[in-house]
Amino acid sequence: MTVEDDDDRAAFLDPEEFGASVVLTHGDVVSDSVDGILSNGASIFGNASDVGAIDRAPFFICRETDLLDGFVQGDGVRIGSTRYVARAVLPDGTGMVRLDLELAADGKS
């Protein structure tokens, strides 16, 4: 159980500070702007002397309540003119959700 509410969580997602705004699509339904945190950095798996893998997959974290109803793996995420597909939709149990992203086949909108 979390102690903060949606308004508290929104303070961490402000695109004017350190967040980003995206547009979500689920079938023919398109969201208004959704604020969250976009990460496109690298994750290194392994230890310091033997790097096993480097993952550069982007992900987006937002409030679970901001997702479109029924938003699932395979639905769309547009950041600026770049189009992504959600590879995974991972709620964290505290009201936030992580969308693992993959560049869409057409890549640009």
What are 7-56's pLDDT values in tens digits?
A: 777 767 777 777 889 999 999 999 999 999 998 866 666 666 666 666 66
- Confidence (pTM): 0.78
Give the CA distances from residue 1 to residues 89, 91, 95, in Å, rounded to whole numbers and listed in that order: 20, 14, 9
CB neighbours of 108 closer than 8 A, spacing ≥ 6? 81, 82, 83
3-state secondary structure of 66: helix
Helix (H) or strand (E) holding 10: helix 6-10
pLDDT for position 19: 83
In order of start, what are the domains of the chain with their CATH numbers?
Answer: 6-108 (2.40.10)
- In angstroms, the CA 106 to CA 84 distance is 9
pLDDT over 60 at 108, yes or no: no
Tokens read off for 37: 């945190």
pLDDT grade for 109, boundaries at 50, 70 and 90: very low
Each residue's pLDDT tens digit, 44-94: 666 666 666 666 689 999 999 999 999 999 999 999 999 999 999 999 998
Tokens read off for 40: 């496109």
The closest alpha carbon to 99, from 83, 84, 87, belongs to 87
pLDDT for position 47: 67
pLDDT for position 3: 59
